[in-house]
Amino acid sequence: MVPTSRLMLLDSASMYFRAFHGVPESITAPDGTPIGAVRGFLDAITRILTNHPATDLVACFDTDWRPQWRVDLVPGYKAHRVAVDQPPDVEEVPDALAPQVPVIEAVLDALGVARAGATDFEADDVMATLARAAAMPVDIVTGDRDLFQLAEDVRPTTIVYIGKGFAKAERITDGSVQERYDVPASSYADFATLRGDPSDGLPGVKGVGGKSAATVVAQFPTIESLLAAMKDPSVDVPHRAKIEPAIEYLTRAIEVVRVRTNVAVPELSSALPRTPADPETLENLTARWGIARSVNRLIEAMARAA
């Protein structure tokens, strides 16, 4: 049964990278161009909408995948993902994937699915802003654990986590985060800052792993409260000796790990269309790229969900 109102936010890059690596490159358009990421992305939306119905949908994109302000705070942020022999801060994207992204965008536009981005911010910040502003329950579809920090029960926000694949998508709630990491979702960013995240080039505090980070967060739920306690030698701070050399790092890194919830997202209509917005363009795209089956399945899923 479809909820009265429910907003689904798609972490588009997370989804199309997974689609690309999950679909054989032998899947091609009529002219032989690889098109597996497009088909996989569209099929993923169909699957997720079928399993997690929504009335509203926004596909969120990185306007800046590695914002300079985050790099200024932590220079190693995503540094290992910068493409070699390319202009500074160009993300390394497989050659066969890069030309498929504009096709994904064009198909979404023809379908009438809203797309959103914000200058100088990542899709994470866009999703966080839209989720916090929503007047309805929210599902955030992502393979990025950083967004666990947005799970919330009061203003219902659930993470549909696709880290193990689209077929094994998990619903992550505040309770799920507590069960997995022994910290509330509201402190997940602080926990992750202490523990570190190699996938984003964030080393964390040397010698402090997940269990140790949870112990610290249990006593000091925010990095700010931890740093305040570190200034008083009389306060018993777990792993104080390990944290002491990392105080400057923690001060900077927490601003990188926490998502922004107040970025300037252009005005949009999130309502999921029952029928394609531009049938003629969509027909041309499906014929050009040989994606009719994926598009038609998605249209059917959209009509059922909306």
pLDDT in tens, 267-286: 999 999 999 999 999 999 99
Residue type, 185: A
Catalogue the E-assigned strands of 38-143.
56-60, 114-116, 138-142
Over 76-103, what HEC string results?
Answer: CCCHHHECCCCCCCCECCCCCCCCHHHH
CATH code that applies to domain 7-182+264-301: 3.40.50.1010
> What pLDDT, on a 0 to 100 scale, did the predictor assign at position 88?
60
Does CATH place domain 185-257 in 1.10.150.20? yes
Q: Is the pLDDT of residue 91 over 90?
A: no
> What pLDDT, on a 0 to 100 scale, did the predictor assign at position 187?
98
Other beta carbons less than 10 A from residue 156's beta carbon = 16
Q: Are 14 and 146 in contact (CB under 8 A)?
A: no
> What pLDDT, on a 0 to 100 scale, did the predictor assign at position 86?
61
Backbone φ and ψ of 56, nearest 5°? -130, 145
Q: Is the pLDDT of residue 92 over 90?
A: no
pLDDT in tens, 12-63: 999 999 999 999 989 999 999 999 999 999 999 999 999 999 999 999 999 9
Matching fold, domains 7-182+264-301 and 185-257:
no
Delimit the domains of the chain by residue range. 7-182+264-301, 185-257
Interior/surface letters 70-84, b for 16+ CB within 10 angstroms, e for the rest: bbebbeebbeebbee
Place of tokens 């701070």: 237
**Average pLDDT score over residue span 178-205:** 96
> What pLDDT, on a 0 to 100 scale, did the predictor assign at position 2?
47
Return mean pLDDT, the chain: 94
